[in-house]
Chain A
Amino acid sequence: MNETEFNLHFIPLFPLLGAVFNLLLGKQLLRSLGDRLGREVVHLVAIGAIAFSCFFTISAVFEVMVGQDYDRLVDSVYPWIVSGDLHIGFDLVLDHLSAVMCLVITGVGLLIHIFSVGYMAKDPDYGRYFAYLNLFCAAMLILVLGKSLVLTFVGWEGVGVCSYLLIGFWFTDDAKATAGRKAFIMNRVGDFGFILGMLLIYTVVGSLDVDAIARACALGEQSPLVQKLIFGVPIATVATMLLFVGCTGKSAQIPLFTWLPDAMAGPTPVSALIHAATMVTAGVYLIVRLNFLFALAPVTMAVIAVIGAATALFAATIGITQNDIKKVLAYSTVSQLGYMFLAAGMGAWVAAIFHLVTHAFFKACLFLGSGAVIEACHHNQDIRTMGGLREKMPVTAGTFFVSCLAIAGIFPFAGFFSKDEILLHAYANESRGIFTPGGMELNYILYSLGALAALCTSFYMFRLYYLTFEGKFRGDHHTWHHYVREHWIMSLPLVILAGFAAIGGLLGWPHVFGGVIHIDHVLEQWLEPITSLSGTYGGEYTVGVREQFLHEGHVGSGMELTGMAIGLGIGIAGWVFARRLYLDGPSEQAAMLAKRFSALHAASSAKYWVDEIYDVLFVKPVRMIGQLCHQVGDMLLIDGVGVQGTAGAVGVLGTLTKAWHNGNVRRYLASLTFGVAILLGVIYLNPQVSRGDILPKNAAGERELAPDIGLRRTFGAQSVNMDLFWGLFKIHLPGKAEQDAAARRGPPGGEIIRAPALEPAKNPDGRPLNGGAGGQP
């Protein structure tokens, strides 16, 4: 591993500074510099920040990493948490994986910042918007650059917060604010799993540094992560499952996907950046980042693959019947993320990242296009009232179409390559015999699900395209005649992104075509230092197709070509089907089909009632518990008894205490005397002292100290009042014994001892002087 130090912290620092600038000064600028100039300053700062980040990343990756042949650039910014054995540094690392992510984040982020200038041009909260956008980029960059999982988690939460802020950007609209809350809360559910997973890893590895985890995984099957069990399951499996729970939240997979469609309440560029290109792919990034760990947990991998495939199909079927342009794209995003998890679950790390990248291009382009459409149609999002917009906005329509081709998997657009690679993996990676439902190998099921989802994808995307841009306009005249003209600042990002969507496939040129045009699978070679870890550590999950293709011969070129042909056929079939049904607006055939499959149609358009089910299962019970806690716990116990009661009690006691101090010196002196009496009394009136039996005893069972300075026997024998201060004035002999002795001897002995020990033996009758003074026979 060839690494060097590099000032990586500049990458997230600049967006952060931009965010701080706009948060503090944004509003002020608009007010003091005038609307026009103020907006210029705001967006120039924001765009400048992200542009700097972008160019810095590019130079770091291409000049330092590629040019000088380094595998990793690291930056130990400062020791962040140091507590006992726990050392967590604020360490950033730019390796091959985070390089890809950083390029996507800053590149797509830059374009979306530029697009936002047009989209948000009339918004009064201009500064706040760009501040949040910059803040998001900073958090996302920390997420991918973090060397330790803790730092990744910081970014993970940071993007969650920014997502919440941006979904609820127009928070005066209650529905939008609610959508923001929903996104945040569902993400927190996932984060719970993330935290538990991290802690579990920490208990075994003793560190959350990714390198340390990799070292712990290096032993493969002998690793403590596999050897140690928790509830009879290897810790690696449990931990990865928990981490995957976090991923399902952030990346909107079953069962935590319902927040993403609602998140469309935010401004559309936000949907493009956060809810399509970057944040929602964090889960995929995390799995690939920890590929060596996941490779040790085959059960988790199978679960990931199944959930990914199921999500892909499930969301795709919902997408078919949606009528909100952004909702369709949202479900499409969920579906495409499912593909990525399917790939990750198959151990096809490269394919997952490849699809992540291409998806970032075409989905961002689609979202931005939809944003342009929404802007043009005066914030109308219903595609049933659109149509024929190609005439009015040719650039948007063109780029939208290119992206549709890409997402539908039509050769030679980007999606074709990435999706085919995933489907090929799904088909070729024979399952490890973990799940064989119905006697069928898992991989065939996954392949079928994926292929079916691809058909749906192609269909709903072209349905969307045709309903929006082709046919006749179905809205009102006013909108048609007063549509918002395309502006270069919004078209430019579209064109660039469409360009990437078209040629992005070159990043992952299949080997089977290697002979035709000699291009390597660039991404696979680039990511090899990362993905090879799971090959060497995990054993089972080698690098997927390439390994099998080259070494094991499982996947022949014939199979690969067949897979491509099927994929292309599916894509074209969906396209043709959609074109027939929707070229001139919703056709009667479409309505007939909907009627024939009315149950399915209803289920799909109602999103399978998932939200309603969750509402009944989780939201309502939690609300009820919350209500109960509020009424009983908060209002009654804490507010009533706790706060009011305590305050009242303290007040009463305080008044009493205050009344005690009445300023009278006599009382003060009495109190002082009382204090001295307490001090002495605690010893002289101590029941322990007066009983004498339970005094501390030494090892031999003898009493350590005789209780004779206390009141033990004097209580019974003599007056108490004398004895309280007895020790102060004279030495007192044990009362009872004394009386006994005196009874034997006659008259009682003297009470005051006068230096007796000096001549005890000199007394003629052998008795000491004190006894003899009054007790002469």
Chain B
Amino acid sequence: MTFALGPVPLLPEPAAAAGQATTASAQALVDMVHLAPMMIVGIWSLIVLVADAFARPGLRRFQQTLTLLGLGLAVLAAVGQFGHYEYDGGIEVFSGFLYVDQFALLVDLGILGVAGAVVLFAGDYNRSHRFEYGEHESLVLIATFGVMILAHAGDLVALFLGIETMSIAVYVMVGARWNSRQSPEAALKYFVMGAFSSGLLLMGIALVYGATGVTGLDQLSHEVSTVFTKWRAAQDYVAVVEAPEGFPAGMVDMAQDKVALGIAPAALLIPGVLLVLGALLFKVSAVPFHMWTPDAYEGAPSPTTAFMAAGVKIGAFAALLKLFVGTFIVGSLVQAPYGWTSVVLWLAAATMIVGNLAAVRQTNVKRLLAYSSVAHVGYLLVGVVAAASFYGDRPAKGYLPTADEHAWASNAGDTAVASILYYLLAYAVATLGAFACVSWLGRDKKEASAAHEWSGLAQRHPGIALGMTVCLLSLMGMPPMGGFFGKLFVFRSAFEHGSEALRIVVVIAVVNSVIGAVYYLRLIVSMYFRPPLERDLGHVEGRGAPVVLAAAAALSVLIGIGADAMMQRCRLASAGFRIPPSEARAERVDELRAQWEQREAEADRKAAQEEGQQPGQKAGQQPGQQPDEKAQVEVPAAAAPSAEGGTPPAEAEALDDGG
């Protein structure tokens, strides 16, 4: 029994021996290639910063183009990687400091899209409101880099680095608007709060490390269960300690020691985990850690707000998922009385209630959207709890699960994670569109963010109003839009888990969606059915925001209509989420791919059969040949790296699961 109290360093075994130095550097190079999207963004942030030194005030557009070029390269790299078989099982790079897996790559794609959109309309905005500054694009890239570290993190330290990289860049962006009083105030508030939460995070990480002696996520997921095994091993001595009569004194003391040793790691781990959780809940702005959100969102320049609402949220949720759904998956840590789900579940309920209720009374569109984003966090947290419960419930049931139960729970958990990803992306798209619209209205240091200034927008700018309406409807959860399917998937996952508390919270969430409709619809009503203001407040020059808005509206509808295809991609990203990068995870992905192929083949066969039946005797010979031809054509298509849409994938699967 080796147990150490205090800061005894227990570093992971040094991977590279003396003679392997050259191979190690070669390995680093290979790792960099695996991390291509991230590396491109990181390097590009420096390039852009250097370019700023040579830029004249009139030529800032060049930096924008340059940045978009870099982001485009990163997207190309990520698109090439995402869905590739190589990353099915996940790859550990830099000795497990970072992972490259499908999950991280999908999040990369999402955050790159967000960054691209923000860069597209931020330049115009900054120019129009007279606070153009050269570092903006670089800051966006750095924040993006931070989010990508979070997505790839394979270590608690990487996680912390990611959060700090992201946050610090965002603090600067929030406060960058020097000609406004609100902006520095918001930045300061955000910074003070953020620093506090960073402290919590670091403290939590320290405690977790103290309890387990490791920081790597895959070792952690193993060590965490060892902690509870130790605790459990101390049970035999509890009886002795509780009723020492009749035992020799030495025995009682020894029992006391055993108990102390057994519970010590848990006594460190549990508060540590909770502190980390608190810090992450702050980053996603869940109640009661959300207080900074409306102030920071309102005070920040609108494009930055868009980045916070979409990008930072993606990053924070990636971290939350990685740690709490992917790593700390031990029944005791998930379930009451020592687990975190019970409290987070009710915090989720509180988050959506507070977010929605506060949004109802808002007259400022930015604050309104800020509270609405808080409400969305509530819905997402329900999904997080559901996913963790699926993974974590199994050992807590008090008996060893059968293979079927195990498979079902893992599958359902994966689906829940996929639902969260889907929801996040749909939400990010819609919220980007909404903030693009907010940033477009108003000019010359005066943002048109008061709700009454939006009256009659549809008469003055019908296209903008239409795009905004689509985005708002998506946020509201209107059926053809992506937001609806996000809610549907998340709530269904949560409902599938039999726990009563989860079901109650799902009901609360559905009621809250209705309350949410009030303020979204009120905005739409005022855009369409109120007379326009006499004085036109003008709008930002440039096409960036309308392009982003149009793209966001189109994507919102596309994600909704192609929910199947989108969900399939999310499902691919979440396959085997709880398993650390390994062959086992690759097997899960293979299973999934095989399922899809089989389903596709079956659908083809059915279609061919139906075609064969319907024409009757006359056409009876044709369909007999068709399936063979089709199969031959389809095999390479099915084997292609990226999962093609069009098959009834995860949704149907989830339905089969008994929804």
- A residues in contact (CB < 8 Å) with B: 1-5, 74, 76, 84, 91, 650-651, 653-655, 657-658, 661, 663, 665, 667-669, 671-672, 674-676, 678-680, 682-683, 686, 688-689, 695-699, 702-706, 708-709, 725, 727-728, 731, 733-734, 737-738, 740-741, 744-745, 753-757, 760, 765-768, 770-771
Contact = CB atoms under 8 A, between A and B. Distances in A.
B200 interface: yes
23 contacts: A4-B616, A76-B610, A91-B614, A651-B360, A654-B361, A665-B192, A669-B193, A675-B278, A676-B200, A678-B343, A682-B343, A697-B398, A705-B232, A705-B338, A706-B234, A708-B238, A733-B259, A733-B260, A734-B256, A737-B242, A738-B256, A741-B252, A753-B264
A653 B371 CA distance: 14
Interface in B225-275: 228, 231-232, 234-235, 238, 241-242, 244, 248-250, 252-254, 256-264, 266-268, 270-271, 274-275
A709 B234 CA distance: 13
Interface string B178-209: 00000000001100110011001000000100
A668 B615 contact: no
B292 interface: yes
A680 B274 contact: yes
Contacts of B193: 665, 668-669, 672
A731 B618 CA distance: 85
B257 A768 contact: yes
B189 A671 contact: no
Contacts of A683: 270, 274, 337-338, 343
B328 interface: no
B276 to A, nearest CB: 10
B254 A731 contact: no
Given A661-B294, A698-B398, A708-B263, A688 B235 contact: no
B453 interface: no
Interface residues of B, number: 83
B250 A765 contact: yes
Given A5-B619, A654-B361, A756-B257, A702 B235 contact: yes
Contacts of A703: 235, 238
B260 A731 contact: yes
Given A665-B189, A680-B271, A731 B196 contact: no
A538 to B, nearest CB: 25
Given A754-B5, A757-B261, A767 B249 contact: yes
A96 to B, nearest CB: 16
A474 B259 CA distance: 115
A766 B250 contact: yes
Contact of B256 (A672, A702, A741, A766): A741
Contacts of A5: 614-615, 619
A679 B279 CA distance: 11
Contacts of A745: 249
Q: Which of B196, B241, B275, B515 has the most CB of A within 10 A?
A: B241
B347 interface: yes
A682 B342 contact: yes
Nearest to A726: B267
A663 B399 CA distance: 51
A675 B287 CA distance: 8
A680 B619 CA distance: 72
Contacts of A76: 610, 614
Given A757-B261, A767-B253, A658 B270 contact: no
A692 B519 CA distance: 46
Contacts of B561: none
B259 A741 contact: no
Contacts of B109: none
B162 to A, nearest CB: 21
Contacts of B515: 650
B270 A671 contact: no
Nearest to B615: A5
Nearest to A657: B358
Given A4-B616, A706-B234, A672 B289 contact: yes
Nearest to B256: A733
Contacts of B277: 679
Q: Which of B192, B274, B359, B615 has the most CB of A within 10 A?
A: B274
B254 A760 contact: yes
A4 B231 contact: no
Given A676-B278, A755-B4, A689 B256 contact: no
Contacts of B615: 4-5
Given A657-B358, A705-B228, A727-B271, 20 more contacts: A4-B618, A657-B354, A657-B361, A668-B189, A668-B292, A669-B192, A672-B196, A672-B291, A679-B277, A680-B271, A703-B238, A704-B235, A709-B266, A709-B267, A733-B256, A741-B249, A744-B244, A757-B257, A768-B257, A770-B260
A760 B244 contact: no
A285 B615 CA distance: 25
Contacts of B610: 76
Contacts of B263: 706, 708-709, 731
A753 B260 contact: yes
B307 interface: no
B510 to A, nearest CB: 15
B241 to A, nearest CB: 5
A698 B614 CA distance: 59
A594 B174 CA distance: 95
Which 4 A-B residue pairs are closest in the complex by CB-CB distance? Answer: A766-B250, A654-B361, A727-B267, A668-B291
Nearest to B616: A3
A719 B402 CA distance: 46
A129 B261 CA distance: 89
A76 B338 CA distance: 59
Nearest to B278: A676
